[in-house]
Amino acid sequence: MNNVYKRRDGFDGQKMIHIPPKIIKDHLKKHPALFNIYIAHIGYFPKAFSHYREWRKGCDDNIFIYCLTGKGYYIIDDKKFDVTPNQYFVLPATDRYIKYWADADDPWTIYWVHYTGSIIDNFNVSLKIDFSKGPVPIPFNNKAIEIWKNIYECLEMGYSIENLCNANFRLYHFIASFLFPDKNILSETSDNVDIINSTIMDMKNNIDKKLVVEDMASLHKLSCSHFSSLFRKATGMPPIDYFIHLKMQKACQLLYTNKVKIKEVAMDLGYEDPYYFSRLFKKYMGLSPEQYKLMTNGRLSLSSEL
């Protein structure tokens, strides 16, 4: 690529913010726990003609790029990747050679974020962020763009601890919308949402009964395995576990009333055996119903019992 056309930034309609390193350093000294991962730079480059960046000795940041339209390319060491619309890629913090650039005839439009922190290497290992994946295709991620705009608006308002925390905490949501697309897509699929919401409502309306997965699935004319898979993707747990959690939440509400007896709570939740209920409550809540009653009435410290 001819050096005349190389441009880091300066595109019509672009948005870009670089957080001053001194600001980050000062906040890190005062609040290190709040800045384990933080945004260093953020930007939006529309039709970024001749956009080009080269990092001969790598970059200390993770570089996240979401290509909305157009095309681009990147190179890690000597391996080249093509990037097309509705693909994203993450270049983890590294000392390896990096280069990326927009296509000359159809330059990309990209949303991008640089982020780093004291735990960035462990962060990448835990989330399996590495160079091996290449660009990842994803359906149009409107949720991520909304989050990106919220992050940008926070940073536009200045670099107070409140604004930086607001932006950095939203960064996790932004990344998650790409790394865990099934969760994001499921939340926007109306049929699946109706199934999950109606199931949860049915659980709440029958909190005093014993429900089984077969009955839940048959209401929606689904197989048990397919229904359980949908439910688990949406809520993070199997249907019966979720139902038990709802029962334990209700138990906590009932136990908060000092006059109610544990046996009565068990019966109200469909457990004929109060001893079984007590064991289940302790398994899910970490303390017995008796201890919970004492704790909520100020006669027992939770920390002393756990």
Cβ burial, residue 288 (10 Å; 0-12/13-18/19+): middle
Q: Where in the chain do CATH 1.10.10.60 domains reside?
A: 190-305
Question: Which pLDDT does position 298 carry in this prediction?
Answer: 54
Question: Which pLDDT does position 294 carry in this prediction?
Answer: 81
Q: Where in the chain do CATH 2.60.120.280 domains reside?
A: 3-185
Question: Which pLDDT does position 9 carry in this prediction?
Answer: 66
Question: Which pLDDT does position 234 carry in this prediction?
Answer: 80
Structure token pair of residue 184: 């994001």
Mean pLDDT of each 10-residue bin along the chain, 306 residues long: 52 89 92 94 95 94 97 95 97 96 96 97 95 92 95 92 95 95 53 83 94 94 93 87 91 79 94 95 89 68 38
Its sign, for the CA torsion 271, 273, 274, 279, is negative
* CATH 2.70.180.20 applies to domain 190-305: no
Question: Which pLDDT does position 216 carry in this prediction?
Answer: 94
- How, if at all, do strands 15-18 and 79-83 pair? unpaired
d(CA 232, CA 227): 9
The angle formed by the CA atoms of residues 183, 185 and 187, to the nearest 5 degrees, is: 70
Question: Which pLDDT does position 237 carry in this prediction?
Answer: 86
Question: Which pLDDT does position 270 carry in this prediction?
Answer: 95
Question: Which pLDDT does position 297 carry in this prediction?
Answer: 62
Helices 161-179/142-156 angle, 10° precision: 170
The class of domain 3-185 in CATH terms is: mainly beta
Query: Which residues, at least 6 apart from 14, have a Cβ–Cβ distance to it below 8 Å?
Result: 43, 44, 45, 46, 48
Structure token pair of residue 209: 């009964």
Question: Which pLDDT does position 292 carry in this prediction?
Answer: 84
List beta partners, residue 42: 17, 113
The model carries a pTM of 0.65
